[in-house]
């Protein structure tokens, strides 16, 4: 895919003195720059009212079906992103007091043909999005503005250009900027997921796939024609580590080896192929080391290894033959969370990055697995077997604040399995796999248990999703 070119569109600040300058409790102003932003914590109590009219087409052939399709898809992606942000309540278009298709993207009096702020203030609009697009041969241009209506004020305006193949990335880039400008926090809409899946694989086989955060643009990146599992992102977002049962020609057996694949070049590197299982990779944020579980002689332990596989050091040694698996490195690189049955049942533990000071974090359930750190390092998401099924939980890293996030039923009334949580890089979403609707599909949920949504809609099965870091 061509690199998307983003260029700032310089616009004049519009400031109109109006009498209806009310401000939602969820909206405040940055004291350093006067920039409007949404307090994310308060927005959980009261969402901001947003008007999102359809996109305007500016060109010579508005009836062209391809141009119409492009506009509809741009709008669909933008609308879905802003809905998933869980920050806004959208005003019903039937309540609009002016036809957005008959007025410009900028307001009066600066644009004599522009929209009237008063029409949007009257219906209680807090944020107004006005956007239009052009299609020139194989390129798309999206011109977009976001206004704070109570003060008749422009928040930001920008033009995004790129090839048609980058349509969804253009839309995601705009919504990322909406969140950045309104909340002061980076949006995650241009991030990706990596998963193990039976999609496009032979019977009993799994391969590794990458896709956009919303399930679009899925791409298979392995072709082992065996079982490829446990993918993990490198901190640069350009490499993926995973385990595949590869065939050893001399021994004439398959072994669970650890590989790293470069996404841009397609090159694959063998990192660890010690006899037994080499799996559960987790990169340190600096990218200089990664963790994995090596099972030799039936005892899985966690090791630290360099990406070239040349330097390896044990991090756990039992005790007494205990299982130590699924390592996850904290954002500050000082701690490692993992699952271990050293207490009898698999529970979540945390140890220092040098393997010292191991302490147990979870004490409930029969089987706790797959820990994932929140970006601020204050919480862990994990899956726990409770009452016959796995569900997603979060807990503070000191062992307090345990909270169940999922509790879904299958159509036959039995409890569904919800497994393998992974935090988004912004910390506001957790992706996981669930079989509640039949095949194992991907879902997201907020760390407080709200805003649960399904991402994939097909008949394939997805396992062990991992959310990418922020991507440039």
Question: What are the φ and ψ backbone dihedral angles of 156, each rounded to 5 degrees?
Answer: -165, 155
The DSSP output letter for 115 is B
Range in 29-38, 256-265, 294-303, 445-454 the model is least confident about = 29-38
Quick: pLDDT tens for 296-325: 777 899 999 999 999 999 999 999 889 999
d(CA 28, CA 18): 18
Asked if 37 and 184 touch (Cβ cutoff 8 Å), the reply is: yes
CATH 3.40.50.10070 domain position(s) in the chain: 5-183
Query: What does the pLDDT read at residue 251?
Result: 60
**Which tens digits make up the pLDDT trace of 369-380?**
999 999 999 999
What's the predicted TM-score (pTM) here?
0.91
**In terms of Cα–Cα distance, which of 165, 299, 177, 278 is closest to 232?**
278
Q: Which two tokens stand for residue 48?
A: 């901001």
pLDDT for 299: 87
CATH 2.120.10.30 location in the chain: 192-312, 315-464
Mean pLDDT within 168-172: 98
Q: Is 99 exposed, middle or buried (0-12, 13-18, 19+ CB in 10 A)?
A: exposed
Please tell me the predicted confidence (pLDDT) of residue 42: 64
Helix or strand run (H / E) with residue 167: helix 167-183
**DSSP 8-class letter at 142:** E
| pLDDT, mean over the chain | 90
The string of DSSP codes covering 261-320 is: EETTT--EEEEE--SSEEEEEEE-TTSS-EEEEEEETTEEEEEEE-TTS--EEE----ST
Count other Cβ atoms within 10 Å, centred on residue 452.
Answer: 17
Q: How many residues comprise the chain?
A: 472
Under the banding of pLDDT at 50, 70 and 90, the label for residue 8 is very low
Q: Which fold has domain 5-183?
A: Rossmann fold (3.40.50)
Give the tens place of pLDDT for each residue, 58-116: 987 888 999 999 999 999 999 999 999 999 999 999 999 999 999 999 999 999 999 99
Q: What superfamily would CATH give domain 192-312? A: TolB, C-terminal domain (2.120.10.30)
- Say yes or no to pLDDT of 172 above 60: yes
Helix/strand/coil (H/E/C) assignment for every residue in 148-162: EHHHCEEEEEEEEEE
Q: Residue 92: what are its φ and ψ, rounded to 5°?
A: -60, 125
Nearest to 345 by CA among 327, 326, 329, 369: 369
3-state secondary structure 343-384: CCCCEEEEEECCCCCCEECCCCCCEEEEEEECCCCCEEEEEE
Rounded to 10 deg, the angle between the 65-84 and 167-183 helix axes is: 40
Enter the DSSP assignment of 234: -
CA–CA distances in Å: residue 181 to residues 9, 54, 150, 185, 223: 15, 21, 17, 8, 41
**Helix or strand holding residue 80 (H, E):** helix 65-84
Question: 277 - beta bridge partners?
Answer: 256, 295
The yes/no answer on whether domain 315-464 falls in CATH 2.30.33.40 is no
Q: Which of 448, 397, 438, 383 is nearest to 414 (CA)?
A: 438
């Amino acid at each position: 895919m061509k690199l998307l070119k983003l260029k700032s569109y310089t616009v004049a600040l519009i400031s109109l003195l109006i009498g209806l300058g009310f401000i939602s409790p969820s909206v405040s102003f940055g004291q350093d720059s006067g920039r409007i932003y949404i307090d994310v914590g308060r927005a959980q109590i009261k969402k901001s009212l947003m008007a999102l009219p359809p996109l305007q087409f500016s060109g010579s052939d508005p009836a062209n079906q391809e141009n119409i399709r492009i506009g509809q898809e741009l709008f669909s992606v933008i609308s879905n992103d802003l809905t998933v942000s869980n920050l806004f309540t959208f005003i019903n278009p039937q309540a609009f007091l002016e036809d957005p298709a008959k007025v410009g993207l900028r307001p009066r009096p600066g644009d004599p043909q522009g929209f009237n702020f008063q029409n949007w203030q009257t219906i209680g609009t807090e944020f107004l999005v006005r956007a239009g697009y052009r299609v020139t041969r194989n390129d798309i241009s999206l011109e977009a503005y976001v206004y704070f209506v109570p003060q008749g004020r422009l928040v930001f305006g920008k033009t995004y250009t790129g090839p048609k193949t980058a349509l969804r990335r253009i839309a995601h880039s705009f919504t990322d900027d909406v969140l950045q400008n309104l909340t002061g926090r980076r949006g995650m809409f241009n991030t990706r997921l990596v998963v193990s899946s039976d999609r496009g694989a032979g019977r009993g086989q799994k391969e590794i796939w990458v896709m956009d955060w919303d399930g679009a643009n899925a791409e298979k990146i392995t072709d082992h024609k065996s079982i490829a599992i446990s993918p993990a992102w490198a901190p640069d977002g350009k490499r993926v580590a995973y385990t595949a049962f590869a065939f050893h020609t001399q021994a004439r057996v398959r072994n669970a080896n650890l590989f790293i694949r470069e996404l841009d070049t397609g090159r694959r590197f063998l990192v660890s192929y010690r006899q037994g299982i080499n799996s559960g990779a987790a990169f340190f944020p600096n990218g200089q080391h990664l963790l994995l579980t090596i099972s030799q002689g039936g005892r899985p332990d966690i090791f630290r290894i360099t990406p070239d596989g040349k330097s390896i050091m044990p991090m756990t040694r039992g005790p007494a033959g205990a299982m130590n698996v699924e390592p996850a490195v904290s954002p500050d690189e000082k701690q490692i969370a993992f699952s271990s049955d050293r207490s009898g049942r698999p529970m979540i533990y945390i140890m220092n990055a040098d393997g010292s000071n191991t302490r147990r974090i979870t004490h409930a359930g029969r089987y706790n697995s797959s820990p994932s750190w929140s970006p601020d390092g204050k919480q862990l998401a994990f899956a726990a077997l409770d009452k016959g099924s796995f569900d997603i939980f979060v807990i503070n890293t000191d062992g307090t604040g345990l909270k169940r996030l999922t509790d879904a039923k299958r159509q036959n009334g039995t409890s569904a399995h919800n497994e393998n949580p992974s935090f988004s890089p912004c910390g506001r979403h957790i992706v996981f796999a669930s079989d509640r609707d039949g095949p194992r599909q991907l879902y997201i949920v907020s760390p407080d248990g709200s805003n649960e949504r399904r991402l994939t809609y097909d008949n394939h099965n997805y396992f062990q999703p991992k959310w990418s870091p922020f991507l440039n």
